[in-house]
A = this chain, B = another copy of it.
Amino acid sequence: MSRLTLAQANTIIAAALERGAEIGLKPLSVAVLDPGGHLIAFQRQDGASTLRPEIATAKAAGALGLGVSSRTIGEMAADRPSFIGSLGPISPKGVLPAAGGVIIVDGEGLPIGAVGITGDTSDNDEDCALAGIAAAGLTPQE
């Protein structure tokens, strides 16, 4: 298994949005990327603002670009804001330092894609990303 299928990506998105509805979150936007950072599937709920596709994508793309979750990138940014800030201009899809971007790995720990969610608090965004990954029977990078 080297990359997520479209069916898996759709399952992740449906489950993430279901989780968001269940816990009463604001409108969410969910991007699922292949391991090279290219979009497989995306959905933006009604009422979500216009930059959400780029934010959701940047959470996932930044995670794949650096090899860690966007939560960890957020922690790095707290310590070294200029370092993380310098990555935006050199990353085609940006690097977003806030939770909600999670790498998905195969049995050997290699990336097979990533999910990025935005719309509510970043903790809630990440909660939905993890719910989506679990619903698809897949494994987030630890």
Contacts and interface: CB of A to CB of B under 8 A. Distances in A.
A92 to B, nearest CB: 4
A91 B78 CA distance: 22
B37 A58 contact: no
A23 interface: no
A107 B28 CA distance: 23
Closest A-B pairs by Cβ, 9 of them: A36-B36, A51-B65, A49-B67, A2-B2, A77-B82, A92-B92, A88-B89, A90-B94, A39-B53
Contacts of A95: 51, 86
Given A6-B46, A89-B94, A97-B86, A51 B66 contact: yes
A41 interface: yes
- Quick one: copies of this chain in the complex? 4
Interface of A: 2-3, 5-6, 9-10, 34-46, 48-55, 57-58, 62, 64-67, 74, 77-78, 80-98, 110
Given A2-B2, A86-B94, A39 B44 contact: yes
Contacts of A39: 42, 44, 53
A49 B65 contact: yes
A88 B91 contact: no
